[in-house]
Amino acid sequence: MRLFDAHCHLQDRRIAAVAPQLIRVALDSGVQRFVVNGVSEEDWHIVKQMGDDYPSIVPCFGLHPWFIVERSPNWFNSLKEFLVDTPAAAVGEIGLHKGAHGKLTDFSDQVDVFKQQLELAKVLEKPVSVHCVGAFAELLDIMSQNFHQSWISLKVDLHTGWKLAFKFTNLSCTGPFKAGVILHSYIGSAELVPRLAKLGSYFSFSGHLTSMKPEKAKKVVQSVPKDRILIETDAPDGLLRLKTDHLFSIPDVPITELEEQSGGSVPQPASLSREGLNHPANIHSVLNYVATLLEMPEELLAELSFQNASRLFSYPGSKVGCDG
């Protein structure tokens, strides 16, 4: 089986030091691609470097709602520059959050930041990975509405490498989003699926799905069109809440080995506990759970989700071919 992890965070400081080992183990297990999502200005350069270093990594840049308070005045221009300078990149992780963590930021501020990034993804014709907790009504409204903005951006001519300046005036950001909107770790209702799918949404399932009662989870996954199903790990988060003997643990690496890998600069203490953290190779457990809910053979779901992700991430400049 070949697998495509549609959303993870290998740059996360909790696992960044062992990312090379995690990638190797996952590749050996059949995971051919990893979509690594940046969440703030502080980690975009790390994600870009990972994308440069590993053919298997699809980099993404975005400002997550948890980190909008920390953004710089130039954050949006910086985001555009990262995306223009990295043709292989998509947009994400962006979104809306009304949970406990989201209360630390003003929701109207979240909406403003989200709209700007959603519009940018549409302008650049890139898929966008969206985080949504407790705000699906607002998400649906935003994806369905018209909002306009005039701004100047840069685009790279992929044939010549030259950067071309151009202006968008009265740009409409109405759906459907033809390049695709990935609703990552989807745990919304089954009833919303048809309306979100009509607007261009894909539905990515992770271990977070096990926070739902099995009956509800089954209803949700079975409501999704087969050509819109993705699977992910959301590593280092998203660990399945089910008892299983098949989960990979995060390896502890001796400090000397970390120093050799990092040129003497260790990104985190080697003694840091990694218990409870997720690993991209654990996508096999997600595959097993979702396939069970769909009453579908694992091999069929693996290939189906791989083809869906390959099609979604096969935009101009991407590393991914639409044939997988």
Task: Consult the annotation and say whether 131 binds a ligand.
Answer: yes
Task: Consult the annotation and say whether 93 binds a ligand.
Answer: yes
Task: Consult the annotation and say whether 70 binds a ligand.
Answer: no
Contact 318, 58 (CB under 8 A): yes
Task: Consult the annotation and say whether 234 binds a ligand.
Answer: yes
Give the tokens for residue 153.
């951006």
DSSP 8-state secondary structure symbol assigned to residue 40: S
Task: Consult the annotation and say whether 101 binds a ligand.
Answer: no
- Reference 231, options 204, 262, 191, 203; nearest CA is 204
Task: Consult the annotation and say whether 9 binds a ligand.
Answer: yes
Strand partners, 167: 152
One-letter amino acid of 173: C
- Give the separation between CA 310 and CA 288, rounded to whole angstroms: 20
Strand partners, 8: 36
> Would strands 31-37 and 57-61 be described as parallel, antiparallel, or unpaired?
parallel
- Give the separation between CA 276 and CA 268, rounded to whole angstroms: 17
Residue list, annotated binding site for a divalent metal cation = 7, 9, 93, 131, 184, 234
Residue list, annotated binding site = 7, 9, 93, 131, 184, 234
